[in-house]
């Protein structure tokens, strides 16, 4: 079955440590996204990538980094510079060409919950 796989589902981190969240998709989508979700704040865009080897900052990129070396993979690193990293992180993907660029929906993974101890 095609879909998006995020791992790990739960992750605990000590302050000062970097952690990397994995996101893999087999939908053959060009575009991939990372969102952060906090209670009562909806979803906020961290980074997105429209094509391999290219990515752009979203609304809250500070303290995060990404790479897009393969079409299927878009890992997110939460660095020690992120002051409040405890949150639920969602990865998504979409078609990014033609009509879908304006009207296409995003497909989401199951999320990764990061807790800083």
Partner 1 sequence: AQSVTQLDSHVSVSEGTPVLLRCNYSSSYSPSLFWYVQHPNKGLQLLLKYTSAATLVKGINGFEAEFKKSETSFHLTKPSAHMSDAAEYFCVRRTTGKLIFGQGTTLQVKP
Q: How far is CA 15 from the centre of its chain?
A: 21
Question: Are 58 and 91 within 8 A, CB to CB?
Answer: no
Q: Per rule CB under 8 A, is residue 104 in the interface with partner 1?
A: yes
By CB under 8 A, the count of residues binding partner 1 is 25
Binding flag, residue 110, partner 1 (CB under 8 A) = yes
Residue 71 in contact with partner 1, rule: CB under 8 A: no
Closest separation between CB of residue 16 and partner 1, Å?
26
With vertex at residue 52, the alpha carbon angle to CA 97 and CA 9, rounded to the nearest 5 degrees, is 100
27: alpha, beta or left, given left = phi > 0 and alpha = psi -120 to 50? alpha
Q: Please identify which residue in 47, 48, 55, 64 interacts with partner 1, judged by CB under 8 A.
A: 48
Query: According to the binding rule CB under 8 A, does residue 101 interact with partner 1?
Result: yes
**Residue 45 near partner 1 by CB under 8 A:** yes
Whether the CB-CB separation of 30 and 50 falls below 8 Å is answered with yes
Report the interface residues with partner 1, using CB under 8 A: 4, 6, 40-43, 45, 48, 50, 58, 88, 90, 92, 101-111, 113
């Amino acid at each position: 079955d095609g879909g998006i796989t995020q791992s790990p589902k739960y992750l605990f981190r000590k302050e000062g440590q970097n952690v990397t969240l994995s996101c893999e998709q087999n939908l053959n989508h060009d575009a991939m996204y990372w969102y952060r979700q906090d209670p009562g704040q909806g979803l906020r865009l961290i980074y997105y990538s429209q094509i391999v080897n290219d990515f752009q900052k979203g609304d809250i990129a500070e303290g995060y980094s990404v790479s897009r070396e393969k079409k299927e993979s878009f890992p997110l690193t939460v660095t020690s510079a992120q002051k409040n990293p405890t949150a639920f992180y969602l990865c998504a993907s979409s078609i990014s060409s033609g009509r879908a660029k304006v009207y296409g929906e995003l497909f989401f993974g199951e999320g990764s919950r990061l807790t800083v101890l």
